[in-house]
A = this chain, B = another copy of it.
Amino acid sequence: MDEQLTAEPARARRPSGRDAKRASRAARAAASIPYITRSIPVFEVLGEEGLATLEHNADTILEEIGIDFRDDPEALEIWKAAGADVNGERVHFARGMCRELVQRSAPREFTQHARNPARSVRIGGKHTVFAPAYGSPFVRNLDEGRRYARIEDFRNFVKLAYMSNSLHHSGGTICEPVDLPVNKRHLDMVYSHLKYSDKAFMGSVTAPDRAADSVALANIVFGPELDDPLTGRPKTTIINLINVNSPMTYDATMLGAAKVYARANQATIITPFILAGAMSPVTVAGTVAQTLAEALAGMAFVQLVNPGAPTFGTPEPALVLYTMAALARRLGVPFRSGGSLCASKIPDAQAAFESANTLLPTCLAGVNFVLHTAGWLEGGLAMGYEKFVMDVDQAGMMHTLLAGIDLSPNGQAIDAMREVGPGKHFLGCAHTQANFENAFYRSPLADNNSYEQWEAEGSPDMTKRANALWKKMLAEYVEPPMDAGVDEALLEYIAKRKAAAPDSNV
């Protein structure tokens, strides 16, 4: 029986005292937990009536307006066979058709396996997984300013993510290694994730054969135990970002990659790419309905290609985010969104305000997979070294928030108040001594010293302290162990594939 289909529903119950205690202990011990399991409720902005209206509107879009599936005759055949109304490349769907396809077979939650089993992540339900930012052509640091990213930067960020306890995932195209040819750089990226980290990672989506390479490389590492005895299906070892050409259009590149991954039982995140007012109406309710319609069509397509293959949906501004998360729960699929997003070019106060105003709603909304948790600058154009460790620090705080409130007798602390009483202080009392160590999240970057001490240290701002931290981390990095035969097989596969075609930048 499929564990993925029988997993408990995503609906949050009120956490019990025991849950809270366990979670808070985990968060504190948290040297390293593989992923977060929330102990606080989700925040919802709309009630039943509002959510039902938006679902109705998504069905109206799918039925009346339809979705284009471009330059992929096989995709149109698949839809025709499923009973959709196909006119040229435009596909119209009967009300409820996409929803039913998704709910029939898409897992509510699933495990993405990491090469270190202790670091495998659960995607969906009450779980939250933090991953680095994705897709920047530039990097920025305090020493060099902004420049094009190179494969060495890519490796650095894989190492930093590996060392960051509050990131649970290695991410995907953390930055574009523009010093390598476009048609081959995916091999070096996937290799870096597999070699320099043991956390779960994301594959290439820029062409179907690059998706196939990603699967092949992962299979070399996971080879001996490729099937998951719990699900009776191939293990899901790669998550992949499938962009919609919003509005309401899928193109052949993304459809090709989605088919490769779905057939290998690898997970697809269907990601409407929407800037409200450009790719969608300029209102929240309009944007949400369109996003849902686009994601439904993509997820339903994945289920037609391989029923049961993990797939889930996405987006961003806080009100959209709260609402989409609620709609994903109603649909019964995991939800990807948010992160530490900002438009600022540098890791200044603007970057921090904007990032916090995305990351906190991300966590309160109950997002399951948080791409772009760390490093994001300039709307995704640049990956910041200082921003990366600053964001990781914030992700650590979110662990404490999501662990909720300890209502054990020790947490209630009535005896401590009896011991101390009015007008005294709690600094030396037994309860404080016993709990102080783990009571607060300790930021490695926030300066909470006196003004005088801070001044004596040269009045550094947070960016300066972050600069010192990432350098220290890279200096202390130690590679996770990898079987020499596996490494050899990976390098051999890569060498063969690189030799098979000339370098190209398309």
By a beta-carbon cutoff of 8 Å, the part of chain A in contact with chain B is 14, 17, 40-41, 43-47, 49-50, 53, 57, 60-61, 64-68, 70, 90, 146, 245, 247-249, 276-286, 289-290, 318-319, 323, 343-357, 360-361, 364, 378, 381, 390, 394, 397, 401, 404-407, 410-414, 416-418, 420-427, 431-432, 435-436, 439, 445-448, 451, 454, 459, 461-463
CB distance from A373 to the nearest CB of B (A): 14
Of the candidates B17, B318, B414, the one whose C-beta lies within 8 Å of that of A289 is B414
Whether B45 pairs with A417 at a CB distance below 8 angstroms is no
Of the candidates B352, B357, B421, B435, the one whose C-beta lies within 8 Å of that of A282 is B435
- A68-B423, A90-B422, A343-B447 given; 9 more Cβ-contact pairs under 8 Å: A14-B47, A17-B50, A46-B405, A53-B407, A282-B426, A319-B405, A352-B352, A356-B356, A357-B360
Given A356-B357, A364-B364, A432-B282: A347 and B349 interface contact (C-beta under 8 Å)? yes
Copies of this protein, total? 2
A463 to B346 Cα, complex, angstroms = 12
Given A421-B248, A431-B281: A454 and B360 interface contact (C-beta under 8 Å)? no
Whether B50 pairs with A45 at a CB distance below 8 angstroms is no
Best-buried of A67, A90, A282 by chain B (most CB within 10 Å): A282
Whether A416 pairs with B286 at a CB distance below 8 angstroms is yes
Sample (11) of A-B pairs whose CB atoms are under 8 Å apart: A41-B45, A64-B418, A65-B417, A68-B422, A245-B423, A277-B426, A283-B406, A285-B407, A290-B417, A319-B405, A360-B361
A488 to B417 Cα, complex, angstroms = 53
Given A319-B404, A360-B356: A348 and B345 interface contact (C-beta under 8 Å)? no
Chain B residues near A355 (CB-CB < 8 A) = 353
A323 to B289 Cα, complex, angstroms = 33
CB distance from A422 to the nearest CB of B (A): 4
A417 to B445 Cα, complex, angstroms = 46
Chain B residues near A356 (CB-CB < 8 A) = 352-353, 356-357, 360
CB distance from A286 to the nearest CB of B (A): 3
Whether B67 pairs with A422 at a CB distance below 8 angstroms is yes
Chain B residues near A454 (CB-CB < 8 A) = 345
A451 to B345 Cα, complex, angstroms = 7
Given A346-B459, A390-B353, A426-B247: A364 and B43 interface contact (C-beta under 8 Å)? yes
